[in-house]
Chains A and B, each alone.
Chain A
């Protein structure tokens, strides 16, 4: 009998030990939360005896996904500034990984643990907006005034079926960049403007085994698409037809743009390691004078300066074919980093206040004053600043500015890019497949994805 009771006792003891230790960790957390609440209520009681509407202190969770170093620093200082100016609405910023944005955000969405505010890639509205996880900002009463501050093209991209799921924080427009010294040494004063010039210049700048005329990121299919499709858009092509039911992959604009890269690869002027090149890899090649030209957003300027402080860069618009290949207006892809609000947020009004300020004209000014932040301003007012003209690559942006295009805001966009066309195009560029066959393969894959609605 003794034995039984003893073994029972020991088992129970082990159970209680385990769970009480587990509980200690949880209770620790909760206690601190309670004390802060207690403190604030106490503070409110003592100070705000006269004001009847004692504003309750709220803490907003804010997830910041990725960005270049200077940009992260800027975000941190902005949040600190907000916190010191707004004691009632405190913002708790947590840095998250850009690479794992999808898995992280989706788990949060499906468990109802999304933060109040998040800064993510603009394409997230496609899935999360229509999925009902993001708060439509047009629900707020002063939305119709606030929206006038922003450049319409950006707002429009984040708007699905009349619902505004986020505000832009910075615009990313890819322009052609070049290593000034390498180009000058080869006798070029400015970057090529047409596809033929691009091919020729790239060929001239190539020293086999040592340096290459052109570089593109090919290790990540999405990164590749955003840097390659510029040429397709420039040729007057588009991704989908007007009602987004059919892919236009086999159109001449696509074929031309793929052929351009396949030709450069054949000439040996495209970095032969492009399939293994990621952002950091390309950055190292740029800084090491191994590549002469590339397409990037302004955010790369800071990191280049960090690695090669004396390097001078040339900027130019994305080269265009001699004549338009497609029916759409010649355009440039605009990519957006947005700030959005969770529809499950408990402090929507507070979050709205913060969001307006964070993306609004006052904060946006800094993107003009500090080009190392790596983005373009998104508010109209910033364009009027005199410093706007000094932003690196201003003329190139100016040349692109009027004709901004966006990727279609459909939920299957990521799948279309990663599974639909990018692998086939990469194969065609690398010479493993003819351009025609590759695009046919891509077409059938894209159609299969689009038909799965």
Chain B
């Protein structure tokens, strides 16, 4: 510090001030440095290498480390023509949209109720969150027990209440297997949505709620027209994040059905995994994962645009 005080003669003053101004401007960037460097190193680099891979020979590893050749966009064409591509794209969209939509409705109902009850509130809150806190792997495993055809609890329960006449092989045909996957996934994600929405509801000011009550608006109307618009940012971000994460969901599907029976529940991440790791087609797998991220990107920005326009009105 002494140095700075001593150098207070007039000629150097300007240059030092300038230098420090630059330094000060630079120093602000130090705050974001660790995060940006780490993310760039571990996240961005693989994405770039993914792009490079997608433009190179498909069976890269099979050549025994020989230099891969540049093949242009042919990997994208072969990814598009891949037998399972269309099935898995359809499944991915169906799986993600139905999971997020249903889980959102559940989350909304529970969070509204939780916000209105006074007794046992903490008790409810702690128990409802269990599916989110345990690992997706454990979640998938427990649903595999429940859906088991020969001794699963679901068959037992449905038989008891007379909903079905004989045991159903839930994971053994396309329709029920897909339903089972979606149910397990909804179960896994609805607590997170509930908690996020609950926090949003709690931050809606009490004045607005009371004003609505005086207006004599019905309960449902009150929520649709007054309270939910207040927390639109929460809703937007919750849905967006869930959409991105669920589109990339791998563990639940791999553990429950491995994409079966007969490949009928394959989704894009599972297909990419198969191509990359089992069939040694790194090129096609990379191309496919770029297509996947592009789909997410397009859908997310489309969604943001629609939601943004609506909320502006």
Binding site for B on A (CB under 8 A): 1-2, 4, 7-8, 11, 14-15, 18, 102-103, 106, 109-110, 127, 130-133, 209, 218-221, 272-277, 281, 284-285, 288, 290, 411-412, 414-415, 418-419, 422-424, 426-427, 430, 445, 448, 452
* In the complex, B115 has a CB within 8 A of chain A: no
Q: CB distance A273 to B279 under 8 Å?
A: no
Chain B interfacial positions (CB closer than 8 Å to A): 1, 4, 20, 23-24, 27, 30-31, 33-34, 58-59, 61-65, 83-84, 148-151, 166-167, 169-173, 177, 257-258, 260-263, 273-274, 277-281
Contacts of B65 in A (CB 8 A): 132
Evaluate contact between B280 and A272: CB separation under 8 angstroms: no
* Contact across chains for B279 and A1 when beta carbons are under 8 A apart: no
Which 6 residue pairs of A and B lie closest in terms of their CB atoms, listed nearest first?
A132-B64, A276-B172, A275-B261, A276-B171, A275-B172, A426-B262
Contact of A106 among B173, B260, B262, B280 (CB under 8 A): B280
Known: A272-B169, A273-B150, A445-B83. A221 touches B260 (CB 8 A): yes
Contacts of B261 in A (CB 8 A): 218-219, 275-276, 426, 430
| Chain B min CB distance to A290 (Å) | 6
B16 to chain A, nearest CB (A): 9
Report the minimum CB–CB distance from A103 to chain B (whole Å): 4
Contact between chains at A11 and B262 (CB < 8 Å): no
What secondary structure prevails in chain B residues at the interface with A?
loop
Additional 12 contacts, C-beta under 8 A, given A4-B27, A131-B61, A411-B59: A11-B30, A106-B277, A131-B63, A218-B172, A221-B262, A221-B263, A275-B173, A275-B262, A281-B150, A415-B279, A419-B84, A430-B262
Once A275-B172, A423-B262 are accepted as A-B contacts, the answer to whether A1 and B4 lie under 8 Å apart by CB is yes
Distance in angstroms from B180 CB to nearest chain A CB is 10
Q: Knowing A273-B149, A276-B169, A276-B170 touch, does A109 contact B61 (C-beta < 8 A)?
A: yes
Q: How far is the CB of B279 from chain A (nearest CB, A)?
A: 4
Q: How far apart sit A87 and B227, CA to CA, in the bound complex (Å)?
A: 74
Contact (A285, B150) CB under 8 Å given A218-B261, A272-B172, A276-B171: yes
Nearest A residue (CB) for B38: A18
**Chain A residues whose C-beta falls within 8 Å of the C-beta of B277 in the assembled complex:** 102-103, 106
A103–B273 CB distance below 8 A:
yes
Docked-complex contact A1 and B20, CB < 8 angstroms: yes
Complex Cα spacing A276 to B147, Å: 10
Which chain B residues border A275 with CB–CB below 8 Å? 169, 171-173, 260-262
The A interface, classified by DSSP as helix, strand, loop or mixed, is helix
Q: Are B34 and A18 in contact (CB under 8 A)?
A: yes
Tell me the minimal C-beta distance from B44 to chain A in angstroms.
19
Given contacts A1-B4, A1-B20, A426-B262, whether A418 and B278 have CB atoms under 8 Å apart is yes
Residue of B nearest to A427 (CB): B262
**Contact between chains at A274 and B172 (CB < 8 Å):** yes
Chain A residues, Cβ within 8 Å of B263: 221, 419, 423
Task: Provide the residues of chain B in CB contact with A221, threshold 8 Å.
Answer: 260, 262-263
- Specify which chain A residues have a CB less than 8 angstroms from the CB of B258 in the assembled complex: 219-220
Residue numbers in A under 8 Å from B150 (CB-CB): 273, 281, 284-285, 288, 290
* A4 x B24 contact (CB < 8 A): yes
What is the bound-complex CA distance between A132 and B66, given in angstroms? 10
Q: CB within 8 A of B34: which of A14, A127, A131? A: A14
CB nearest neighbor in A for B264: A423
Within the complex, what minimum Cβ distance (angstroms) separates A1 from chain B?
Answer: 5
Q: Determine which of A4, A209, A419, A427 lies in contact with B166 in the assembled complex, contact meaning CB atoms within 8 Å.
A: A209
Contacting A414 at CB < 8 Å: which of B27, B58, B279?
B279
Q: Which residues of B contact A106 (CB under 8 A)?
A: 61, 277, 280
The residue on B at minimum CB distance from A438 is B262
Cα–Cα, bound, A133→B65 (Å): 9
Residues of A near B1 (CB, < 8 A) are 1-2
- What are the residues of chain B within 8 A of A127 when measuring CB–CB? 61-62, 280
B30 A8 Cβ-Cβ under 8 A: yes
What residues of A have a CB within 8 angstroms of the CB of B151 in the complex? 284
Residue of A nearest to B16 (CB): A1
| Complex Cα–Cα for A335 and B1 (A) | 77
Q: How far is the CB of B136 from chain A (nearest CB, A)?
A: 15
* Residues of A contacting B63 in the complex (Cβ-Cβ under 8 angstroms): 131
Distance in angstroms between the alpha carbons of A26 and B61 in the assembled complex: 30
Chain B residues closer than 8 Å to A423, beta-carbon distance: 262-263
A273 adjacent to B61 (CB under 8 Å): no
Bound CA–CA A208/B151 (angstroms): 16
Contacting residues, chain B, for A109 (C-beta < 8 A): 61
* In the complex, chain B residues whose CB is within 8 Å of the CB of A284: 150-151
Bound: A130/B279 CA distance, A = 14
Which among A4, A8, A130, A218 has the greatest number of chain B C-beta atoms within 10 A?
A: A4
- Return chain B residues, CB-CB under 8 Å to A110: 61
Cα–Cα, bound, A231→B173 (Å): 24
List the A side residues contacting B83 at CB < 8 Å: 419, 445, 448
Nearest neighbor of A103 in chain B, beta-carbon distance: B277
List 23 interface pairs A-B (beta carbons < 8 Å), by A numbering.
A11-B30, A11-B34, A15-B34, A106-B61, A127-B61, A127-B280, A131-B62, A131-B63, A218-B172, A219-B260, A273-B149, A275-B171, A276-B169, A276-B171, A276-B172, A276-B177, A281-B150, A290-B150, A415-B279, A418-B279, A423-B262, A430-B173, A430-B262
